């Protein structure tokens, strides 16, 4: 491929991603990074993955992205902001993480990147590409940083200097070669430790990873069985996810609400009152959250989370 052709194709893909509504984009050269596997292995070895044993699979592939797409040359990374500031209905209502207040992002981003992938195929017929969004053995944060989208914050999430950290990530791994973006984004956290101090359960580690066993997001979404007694009273009014570390981050002071219509939920989670949650049946849950990330947890675990809060604070029940 000539340099002129590469420049034109790179521009077209960036423009296509922008047309799909993505707020930040970047392209990195696909190559093995065995340190990714090493870091995850050490994290798992310390037991910080909790009961998420699935993360132990395909560790070798996590360190070599070219095993996911044979002959891969590029990793296209796109970020879509999801910040929202709606006030939950009713006084002292339950809290649901902002990422779950929108339509299931896996579906939205998959559809957007599928359309971009078709453009790549049209421009380069023999191209082989694969779309990822929070699935498969791909180290999303590491590749977002390599593509120049930002740096790894103390709370472990990628922070972009323009839009903060409230954004979803999606990737296209492809055999097509593009111009690659500058990855010199420096660490701008400095000496700030607001996120560490704000974590109700002390889940943020010094090496900028999260100890899932103490993370409210993990406990309310992934953890099976009863919630550990040591956290009673510490989960506040949270029943799904947690945004505490992001809420206090200075880089999110400039975060603005999302505008992508494809993210708009059929039923706004924040419109549900405390009574709605308490009276919800399994059938109601299935219908209300059929296109929401909340369906991942399931009715029984949401009830467990609610009961855990109410038992901690009986006067709120």
> Strand ranges (DSSP E) for 189-282?
238-240
CA gap 176, 173 in Å, rounded: 9
CA gap 168, 251 in Å, rounded: 16
- Tell me, what DSSP letter sits at residue 204? B
Do 221 and 134 touch, CB atoms closer than 8 A?
no
Kindly list the catalytic residues: 134
Neighbours of 26 (CB within 10 A): 24
Sign for the CA dihedral angle at 16, 22, 28, 32 comes to negative
CA-based nearest residue to 63, from 87, 18, 32: 32
Which is it for strands 167-174 and 74-81: parallel, antiparallel or unpaired? Answer: antiparallel
């Amino acid at each position: 491929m000539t340099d002129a052709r590469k420049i034109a194709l790179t521009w077209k893909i960036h423009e296509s991603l922008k047309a799909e509504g993505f707020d930040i984009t970047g392209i990195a050269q696909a190559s093995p990074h065995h340190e990714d596997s090493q870091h995850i292995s050490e994290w798992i070895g310390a037991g910080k993955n909790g009961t998420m044993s699935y993360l132990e699979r395909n560790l070798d592939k996590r360190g070599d992205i070219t095993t996911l797409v044979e002959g891969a040359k590029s990793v296209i990374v796109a970020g879509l902001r999801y910040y929202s500031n709606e006030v939950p209905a009713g006084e002292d209502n339950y809290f649901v993480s902002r990422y779950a207040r929108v339509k299931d992002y896996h579906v939205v981003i998959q559809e957007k990147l599928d359309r971009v992938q078709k453009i790549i195929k049209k421009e380069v017929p023999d191209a082989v590409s694969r779309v990822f969004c929070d699935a498969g053995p791909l180290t999303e944060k590491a590749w977002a940083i390599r593509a120049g989208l930002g740096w790894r914050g103390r709370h472990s999430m990628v922070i972009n200097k323009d839009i903060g950290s409230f954004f979803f990530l999606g990737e296209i791994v492809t055999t097509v070669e593009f111009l690659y973006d500058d990855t010199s984004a420096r660490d701008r956290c400095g000496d700030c430790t607001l996120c560490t101090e704000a974590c109700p359960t002390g889940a943020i580690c010094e090496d900028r990873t999260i100890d899932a066993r103490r993370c409210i997001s993990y406990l309310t979404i992934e953890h099976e069985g009863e919630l550990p007694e040591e956290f009673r009273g510490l989960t506040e009014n949270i029943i799904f996810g947690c945004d505490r570390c992001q809420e206090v981050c200075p880089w999110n002071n400039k975060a603005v609400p999302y505008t992508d219509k494809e993210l708009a939920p059929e039923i706004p989670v924040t419109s549900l009152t405390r009574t709605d949650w308490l009276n919800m049946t399994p059938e109601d849950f299935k219908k209300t959250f059929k296109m929401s990330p909340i369906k991942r947890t399931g009715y029984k675990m949401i009830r467990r989370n609610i009961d855990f809060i109410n038992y901690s604070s009986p006067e709120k029940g």
